[in-house]
Chains A and B, each alone.
Chain A
Amino acid sequence: MKSSIFTRMVLALLLLLTPIIALYAYSNHTSSSVLKREIVKAKRTQVQTFVGQLGQMFAQYDSYQKMLYESNEVRNLAYPDLLNDDLLYYRTLKTVSEEISRLAGYGRWKGIIAVVYPKTGVVIKSNSSLGAVPAELPDKDGFWSYRTSPKGNAYFIETISNPAKSAREEEADLTVVAKVDEGEIKSDLSEMKSNGLEDPFLYKPGDTPIYNYTANQDLIRELLPELDPVATEDGFDPLLIRTSGGTYQVHMDMVQSLGWYLVDYVPIDTIMAPIKRSQTMFYSISGMMLFMACILSFLLYRSIRIPFRKLMQGMNFIEKGIYTSRMKDPPRGEFRYVYQKFNSMAARIEELIEDVLKEQIRTKEANVKQLQSQINPHFLYNTLAYIKSMVELEEKEAAVSMTMNLSRYYRYTTKLSSSFATIQEELNLIENYLDIHRMLTDDFEYEIDIDPAMLKMEIPRLSLQPLIENVIVHAFRKPVKYGSVRIRGTLEEGGLARLTVDDNGTGLTPAQLESLQAKIRTAPSDQIDAGLHNVHQRLMLLFGKGSGLFLSHSERGGLCAELVWQVQVGEAE
């Protein structure tokens, strides 16, 4: 019992929780690595999408450029001789200029397209701003190249000329220009930033990166030396760059038409934040569960183990014979009932044990009293004197009868083996006793009338004799007339047995009767009346309430003493 329920319960809970936590930790590890891969993939896809968007923008301007390059009107304008008619020239020019502004107006991008005719000096462009088309075009035709104007404005430009221009000194008839300002790219980068990228910038080894408007330029400059486009091209794992401010996961993808890379970097902590969060959450919840489990088992311990221990203590007391032990402060719930039952059980045991003890004591007292009364010297002297006289008178039969009666009387009264006797045995004693006295005084007569069914019933030994003694000692002390004692035994319907002793003596006044009755019912005294009290108590202890000794006035003038008890079922037969 030392490793109590409490410890066992905590152990059981631990055993339950441990595999759950272990399983979760495992699945968490798996899912977080999957998630990590997915996040990396998502980030990569995101970067690729934006690269696609940028590429699309440049591709769109590519196609505008081609459209213009292949347009007849655009070509014809290069040769004014073909259009010597003013109206035709006007209309062609109008068509081309409208075409250019139409093209530039579509889509959400704000690039510039223009046709430059170097020989005539005519420039038709989609944007009227000064410097919209650089004064100096690239030396030869080519795809997007990154240039900076003398004023410091950077831009991407691509040109296509007719005839194709491959060196500076060649002069083309017309050149179609597409140009995207760095500002447009910056604006796009900022847009990307607000649409989910962390801090995107455009990068090409050897050039100054193009930042978004709110870029952390210092950090990017710190990252730049570590950027290795070639290394990241094939591998799946993203580039990890450690800086003074933490570790960054870098995603980059090339805008094919430009040869520049769109780069985005994410602090690793940010990327892993959701996973870390769920982990923290799980572990704290597990901790909570464990904690709650302990509280739960403590509560159980409090409501079961403690009452149980107290109950055990109570049992031990009872076992050691301390029958007064009772359970105090019953707890709520089932244990309250158990406590109550325990208490009533203890009370009942105490009561029963007391009854038995008292009965024993009273039996002994009765015997002692009896012995005392019977070893009364006068009684013995008188009988012995009677026997002597009878012998002297040669009344042999009377002497023998007295001797026999005396002998039976003493044998019975001194026999201490059993505390019970049948009514028959008791009656035999009474007859002996009465015969002895009648022989001595010869001034009374007696009559015994008992229901035969009662003769075999057992009552406390010597419970009838005190009543008879009472009659001889008190009722017939001053004989005024011839005495008469009647002993009757009746059995009533309800199983109530009665043994009545009444006489025709002087009797008692009502007040005396009442006082005697009270004496019998209350504490025992040292007087000889204690015999009556004894009888009453013994009957009550044996047969329960309603049994006992009851006194009343006899119809024949004397006192009527009645033993009443409830016959146990089965005994009546």
Chain B
Amino acid sequence: MRLSPWKAGLGAAARRLAFGSFLVMVALTSSCKGIPGLGDATDDSNPDIPQPYVTLSMIMPGDESARMREFVDNELNARLKQELNLKLELTYIPWADYQSKVELALSTGENYDLFWYGTSFVSDYRTKGYIRPLDTLLQTYGQDLTANIPSDNFKQYEMDGSLWAIPSQAFTSAGKFTSVMVRQDLLESVGMKEIRTIADLEAFYTKMHARDPSYYGYLENDRGQDVLWRELSDQPLTFLDENQMFAVNENTGELVDYLESELYKKVADVRKRWVDIGVIDKRLAGNKAANIDQEDAGKLLFRVGAVSRAMENLQTVQNADPDAKLREYYLAPDKPKYIVAPSNEAYMIPTKSLHPERAMQFMNWILQSKEHYNFIIYGVEGKDYRIENDKIKLLTNDQFMYEWMWRNKNYFMPTTNVDDSVVEDMLHNDDNARISKIFGFHFNQEPVKKEYAKVLAVYNEKFLPINLGIVGYDQAFPSAMEALKKAGYDKVWAEFKRQYAEFRASQTSRADREGSK
């Protein structure tokens, strides 16, 4: 249609008008959108950041320090939100109840996403169905874990062809829990240099007690018998189970019924003597948390070592006594140490976890770089720590993420307060070490779980007082052993022997195969 000029002008005017009204409409809608509070500008554009924003619940042992609480709430979570889009929520369970509370949480199906425990629990938790296999997660999200942790360390958590835990620590572990950690400063203050025998420990206590009776000795009841074995036993033994009932002879490879052995009597007698002379304070022994309380208070003279405990616990003890020094000793130091597990730390993801992939991402994040590693272990550089001559200078005495959990050969830096001798001890810890006969053995409780539970209950009730020296061996052992047998001790022992024999057989055949290759 041809338009007259006038008409064309009118049409153009109408179009301009319509366009104008459209502009007005756009302006109005956009001004409505522009009202603040209508929606925060979250930047979802980065494809690397996982969606959505979730809370990762993790169980930690011990007590949370005030600074850790603040650090998690502020600096750490701000960063984790940015880099992993998650919020970390830590539930601390005191050491004294750790096992029972963790197992309660796992069995009642609380939705935790990640927790730590010792190597010996992995097999049990796998059998009970508490934890999930991690192979796929590790492959997908764990590049930095596999890069920084030797592949041998992963092998100890491989069962039925699947991986069940992350061996978070990659350092030395020979002779773990068979050493004794001593307040070196106090030892030196009474004119002693080192600990080599049980007599040294007793002398240390006696001299110290004479000077200040507020100091105590050893208070642990769950460990430490094997510390004494190094001196008391002519055969090298290693505990087979966390509950200290059975052992293996490292020379012969045979199982030992420890409770019924002469060695147990010897250990019990030493403990009884310690209670009598006051090395173990019987007024505190029943208080499960007392050894930690006393250590935190700077009143503990010695306790069981853990390869690097002298370094780990220094910070805490210096809180109470700024001059404190710690050092670990092996009794009969010339005897070899045994490596039961290359890493005693195991990070597991519960079956009921809501965000397993995030848990793996979080673990991977820790070992992603030295900067992440230092951040989560030591806090904010310049505020919580400083780097001085390749050492960490701590500016706060509060504990962050436990260093020992994630200690890694590639990132490790000693703290300035730790003596070089302690660091030397650690770096040479593997020198006199051998692989234990039980390396890779995992006891499956399933066939005897009823008897095992009963045996443990009786053991806790009847044998702990003997272990601690509260009651004498001669007086209490016969009735205690009788009760234990009634609970099904023999059946458990037989099952241990059967499974161990099976394990040995498979070890030999594998060795043969490898030899014939």
Q: Do A and B bind each other?
A: yes
Chain A contacts to B: CB under 8 angstroms? 80, 86-87, 89-98, 101-102, 104-105, 108, 110, 120, 122-130, 132, 153, 181, 183-184, 186-187, 190, 213-214, 270, 273, 276-277, 280-281, 284-285, 287-288, 291-292, 295, 298-299, 302, 329, 332
B 259-292 binary contact with A (CB < 8 Å = 1; else 0): 0000000000000000100000011111111101
List of B residues within 8 angstroms of A102 by Cβ? 97
Residues in B whose Cβ lies below 8 Å from that of A273? 35-37
Residues of A close to B63: CB separation below 8 A? 127-129, 132
CB pair B94 A128 closer than 8 Å: yes
Rounded to whole angstroms, the CA-CA distance of A209 and B294 in the bound complex is 34
Please, which residues of chain A bring their CB within 8 A of the CB of B434?
none
Q: Are A288 and B470 in contact (CB under 8 A)?
A: no
Partner of B94, one of A90, A127, A190, A292: A127
Is B334 an interface residue when CB atoms closer than 8 A count as contact? no
**Interface pair A124/B94, CB less than 8 Å apart:** no
Kindly identify which residue among A87, A101, A104, A288 contacts B288, using a CB–CB cutoff of 8 Å.
Answer: A101
Look across to chain B and name the residue whose beta carbon is closest to the beta carbon of A122.
B283
C-alpha gap A183/B64 in the complex (Å): 11
How far, in Å, is B55 (CB) from chain A's closest CB? 10
Is A288 in contact with B296, judged by CB distance below 8 angstroms? no
Docked pose: A345 CA to B282 CA in angstroms? 129
Q: Which of B93, B287, B316, B320 contacts A93 (CB 8 A)?
A: B287
Q: Are B289 and A101 in contact (CB under 8 A)?
A: yes
CB B11 to nearest CB in A, in angstroms, measures 9
Contact A295 B18 (CB under 8 A): yes
Select from chain B the residue with minimum beta-carbon distance to A184: B69
Decide if B511 is an interface residue (CB 8 Å cutoff): no
Q: A93-B286, A299-B14 are in contact. List 7 more A-B contacts (CB 8 A).
A: A92-B286, A102-B97, A104-B94, A125-B289, A183-B69, A184-B69, A288-B25
B190 contacts the other chain (Cβ, under 8 Å)? no
Check A329–B7 contact: CB distance below 8 A.
Answer: yes
Looking at the complex, which one of A101, A125, A187 makes contact with B97 (CB distance below 8 Å)? Answer: A101
Set B69, B287, B320: member contacting A97, Cβ < 8 A: B287
CB within 8 Å for A89 and B282 given contacts A181-B66, A213-B74, A280-B32:
yes
Q: How far is A130 from B38 in the complex, measured between Cα atoms in Å? A: 48
Q: Which residue of A lies closest to B292 (CB)?
A: A128
Knowing A87-B471, A89-B283, A105-B93 touch, does A298 contact B17 (C-beta < 8 A)?
yes
Contact B73 A86 (CB under 8 A): no
Cα–Cα distance between A153 and B62 once the two chains are bound (Å): 20
Contact residues of B between 33 and 61, Cβ < 8 Å to A:
35-38
A129 lies within 8 A of B7 (CB): no
| Set A97, A181, A214: member contacting B286, Cβ < 8 A | A97
Query: Are B70 and A213 in contact, CB atoms less than 8 angstroms apart?
Result: yes
9 A-B pairs (CB sep. < 8 Å): A89-B282, A90-B286, A90-B470, A91-B286, A93-B286, A93-B287, A108-B91, A280-B35, A329-B4
**Residue of B whose beta carbon sits closest to that of A214:** B74
Within 8 Å CB of A295, what residues of B? 17-18, 21
**B92: CB under 8 A from chain A?**
yes
Tell me if A183 and B66 are in contact (CB < 8 A).
yes
Q: Say whether chain A's binding surface is mostly helix, strand, loop, or mixed.
A: helix
**A278 shortest CB reach to chain B, Å:** 10
Cβ contact within 8 Å between A86 and B93: no
Q: Is A128 a contact partner of B4 (Cβ separation < 8 A)?
A: no
Q: A277 touching B38 by the CB < 8 A rule?
A: yes
Q: Given known contacts A125-B293, A329-B4, is B284 in contact with A98 (CB within 8 Å)?
A: no
Alpha-carbon gap, A213 to B275, bound state (A): 48
Shortest distance from the beta carbon of B198 to any chain A beta carbon, whole Å: 22
Q: What is the CA–CA distance of A110 and B92 in the complex, to the nearest angstrom?
A: 9
Query: How close is B214's CB to chain A, nearest CB, in angstroms?
Result: 9
Given contacts A101-B97, A302-B14, contact A90 B21 (CB under 8 A): no
B32 touches A281 (CB 8 A): yes
With a CB–CB cut-off of 8 A, which chain A residues contact B296? 128-130
B3: nearest residue on chain A (CB-CB)? Answer: A329
Tell me whether B232 is interfacial, beta carbon within 8 Å: no
CA distance A143 to B289 in the complex (A): 27
Nearest B residue to A92, CB-CB: B286
Instruction: Please provide the 5 A-B residue pairs with the shortest distance between their CB atoms, ordered closest to farther.
Output: A93-B286, A94-B286, A128-B292, A90-B286, A97-B287
| Complex contacts, A184 vs chain B, CB 8 Å | 69
A86 touches B97 (CB 8 A): no
Which chain A positions have C-beta within 8 A of B14?
298-299, 302
User: By the criterion CB–CB under 8 Å, are B32 and A284 in contact?
Assistant: yes
* Residues 7-37 (chain B) with a chain A CB within 8 angstroms: 7, 10, 14, 17-18, 21, 24-25, 28, 31-32, 35-37
Q: How distant is the Cα of A129 from the Cα of B68 in the complex, in angstroms?
A: 13
Complex CA distance for A213 and B73, rounded to whole angstroms: 8
Q: Do A94 and B288 contact each other (CB < 8 Å), given the known contacts A129-B296, A130-B319? A: yes
CA distance A545 to B405 in the complex (A): 119
Q: Which residue of A lies closest to B66 (CB)?
A: A183
A108 to B293, CA, bound (A): 23
Query: C-beta contact mask, B293-317 vs A, less than 8 Å → 1, else 0?
Result: 1001110000000000000000010
| Residue pair A97, B66 in contact (C-beta under 8 Å) | no
Contacts of A101 in B (CB 8 A): 94, 96-97, 288-289
* Assembly CA distance A55 to B423 (angstroms): 49
Q: Known contacts A94-B286, A295-B17, A302-B10; decide if A105 and B471 are in contact (CB<8 Å).
A: no
Q: In whole angstroms, what is the CA distance A80 to B21 when docked? A: 92
Which residue in chain B gives the minimum CB-CB distance to A153? B66
Query: Cβ of B465 < 8 Å from any Cβ of A?
Result: yes
Q: B468 interface residue, CB < 8 Å from A?
A: yes
B82 proximity list for chain A (CB < 8 A):
none
Are A89 and B286 in contact (CB-based, < 8 A)?
yes
**B289 engages A97 (CB within 8 Å):** yes
- Select from chain B the residue with minimum beta-carbon distance to A124: B287
A residues less than 8 Å from B4 (CB atoms): 329
Residues of B close to A91: CB separation below 8 A: 286, 465
Q: Which residue of chain A is the closest to B68 with respect to CB atoms?
A: A183
Which residues from chain A contact B31 at a C-beta distance below 8 Å? 280, 284
Contact between A110 and B64 (Cβ–Cβ < 8 Å)? Answer: yes
> Given the complex of chains A and B, what is the CA–CA distance between A92 and B470 in angstroms?
13
Q: Complex formed: what's the CA distance from A295 to B17 in Å?
A: 8
B65 at the interface (CB under 8 A from A): yes
Interface residues of B in 384-438 (CB under 8 A from A): none
* Chain A residues whose CB sits within 8 angstroms of the CB of B96 once the complex forms: 97-98, 101
State A94–B320 Cα separation when bound (angstroms). 25
Interface positions, chain B 82-122, Cβ under 8 Å from A, are: 91-97, 101
Q: Are A284 and B18 in contact (CB under 8 A)?
A: no
A168 to B96, CA, bound (A): 33
Q: Flag if B94 contacts A98 (CB, 8 Å).
A: no
Chain A hits for B465, CB < 8 A: 87, 90-91
Q: Which one of A105, A120, A184, A299 has the greatest number of beta carbons of chain B within 10 Å?
A: A105
Closest approach, in angstroms, between the C-beta of A81 and any C-beta of chain B?
13
Best-buried of A108, A277, A332 by chain B (most CB within 10 Å): A277
Contact with A along B183-210 (1 / 0, CB 8 A): 0000000000000000000000000000
- Distance (whole angstroms) from the CB of B94 to the closest CB of chain A: 5
Q: In the docked arrangement, what's the CA distance between A110 and B68, Å?
A: 13
Evaluate contact between A288 and B28: CB separation under 8 angstroms: yes
Q: Are A291 and B97 in contact (CB under 8 A)?
A: no
B14 nearest CB across to chain A (Å)? 7
Bound-state CA distance A1–B285 (Å) is 111
B64 neighbours in A (Cβ, 8 Å): 110
| Residue numbers in B under 8 Å from A94 (CB-CB) | 286-288
A132 to B32, CA, bound (A): 54
What's the least CB distance linking A23 to chain B, in Å? Answer: 21
Considering the chains assembled together, what is the distance between the CA atoms of A95 and B286 in angstroms?
A: 8
Alpha-carbon distance A181/B63, docked complex (angstroms): 13
Name the distance in Å between B221's Cβ and chain A's nearest Cβ.
9
Determine the chain B residues whose CB is within 8 A of the CB of A126 once the complex forms. 94, 289
Task: Give A291 to B35 CA distance when docked, in angstroms.
Answer: 23
Q: Which of B10, B65, B470 has the most CB of A within 10 A?
A: B470
| Cβ–Cβ contact B288 & A97, under 8 A | yes
Is there an interface contact between A122 and B284, defined as CB atoms closer than 8 Å? yes
Q: Which residue of A lies closest to B285 (CB)?
A: A90
